[in-house]
Amino acid sequence: MTTAALPKTNHITIAGIRVEIVRKDIKNLHLGVYPPNGRVRVAAPLVLSDEAVRLAVIEKLAWIKKHKARFKDQPRQSQREMVNGESHYFLGQRYRLRVHEHVGSPKVALRGIATIDLFARPGASQEQREAILLGWYREQLKALLSPLLEKWQAVIGVQASSWGIKKMRTKWGSCSIKARRIWLNLELAKRPVQCLEYVLVHELVHLLERHHNERFMGLIAQFMPQWRQYRALLKEVPLGHEDWNC
């Protein structure tokens, strides 16, 4: 029985920027800039020479600096304490949180256009209150996704075997081509519904084309001509990192 080799990691410095290089059994080089301080990471194929990796990073140096600056200047949201008056988002709208002590089952409800009511048992911790809100986000996202999935599978002409929602640090969605399984990020519940549709279409199109190549982008444009507008809306508040090849 054989085991896959573990990725090999080393670091280089280019123009004063420390770059983490992870060698993997992959076909294409992947470059990302990550929060909170703009950490730069390259996933490189095993067969690519160190010099080729260095040249690829140098070629994207202006792009790297731009996104490192973006993370530096980006306003930081304070740690959520789940207390009265905090701002929380649902489908792109901002709401003020109102926490209520409640002896029955925990629940969340929108009140008007500005308030989100969270009902929790007396003495509930910050983590418990947050879990209630995340559970509500998950329920809302599932309710939105069912009809959207039915709509876009018919339009694109594909069928996912299954789909799910989970918290992801650096991706809005993912698609397992072999299993035909789609995952969507729970954070999408906070974004406008057009963002949710864009990510869903993006992942469904991967069932027709695995790579982010010219054919893939052509299919996205065919099925969703406004995709650039929706992607820009999605990226107004970066989830976790910037990719130059996505």
Q: Tell me: the pLDDT tens digits for 83-137?
A: 999 999 999 999 999 999 999 999 999 999 999 999 999 999 999 999 999 999 9
Classify residue 149: in a domain, yes or no.
yes
Q: Percent of the chain having pLDDT more than 90?
A: 60
Which residues face 23 on adjacent strands? 8, 44
Summarize pLDDT for 170-211 with one digit per residue, the tens.
Answer: 789 999 999 999 999 999 999 999 999 999 999 999 999 988
**In a shared domain, residues 162 and 100:** yes
Q: Of 49, 73, 97, which residue constitutes the final position of a domain?
A: 73
Classify residue 82: in a domain, yes or no.
no
Measure Cα distances from 139 to 111, 112, 135 in Å: 17, 20, 6
Classify residue 157: in a domain, yes or no.
yes
CATH of the domain at 153: 3.30.2010.10
- Under a CB-based contact definition with an 8 Å cutoff, are residues 96 and 61 in contact? no
- Under a CB-based contact definition with an 8 Å cutoff, are residues 138 and 186 in contact? yes
Question: Which residues, other chains included, contact 109 with Cβ-Cβ below 8 Å and sequence gap of 6+?
Answer: 116, 117, 119
Give the Cα separation of 101 and 129 in Å (integer): 11
**In a shared domain, residues 128 and 189:** yes
Give the Cα separation of 63 and 14 in Å (integer): 13
**In a shared domain, residues 162 and 120:** yes
**In a shared domain, residues 179 and 122:** yes
Whether the full predicted model's pTM is greater than 0.95, yes or no, is: no
**In a shared domain, residues 69 and 91:** no
Give the Cα separation of 246 and 237 in Å (integer): 16
Examine the pLDDT at 156 and tell me if it is beyond 80. Answer: yes
SS3 content of the chain, % helix, strand, coil (to 5): 35, 25, 35
**In a shared domain, residues 102 and 208:** yes
Measure Cα distances from 66 to 37, 56, 69, 170 in Å: 13, 16, 5, 19
Q: Of 50, 73, 96, which residue constitutes the final position of a domain?
A: 73
Please tell me the predicted confidence (pLDDT) of residue 241: 43
Q: Residue 141: which domain range?
A: 87-243
Instruction: Using alpha carbons only, give the angle 87, 200, 76 rounded to the nearest 5 degrees.
Output: 30
**In a shared domain, residues 48 and 96:** no
**In a shared domain, residues 95 and 213:** yes
**In a shared domain, residues 170 and 229:** yes
Classify residue 80: in a domain, yes or no.
no
**In a shared domain, residues 190 and 101:** yes
Classify residue 1: in a domain, yes or no.
no
**In a shared domain, residues 44 and 109:** no
Classify residue 152: in a domain, yes or no.
yes
Can you tell me whether residue 206 is helix, strand or coil?
A: coil
Q: Of 22, 39, 73, which residue constitutes the final position of a domain?
A: 73
Q: What is the mean pLDDT of the chain?
A: 87
Please tell me the predicted confidence (pLDDT) of residue 171: 86
* Number of structural domains found in the chain: 2
**In a shared domain, residues 32 and 112:** no
Examine the pLDDT at 30 and tell me if it is beyond 70. Answer: yes
Classify residue 95: in a domain, yes or no.
yes
Classify residue 164: in a domain, yes or no.
yes
Least Cα distance to 212 among 240, 245, 163 occurs for 245
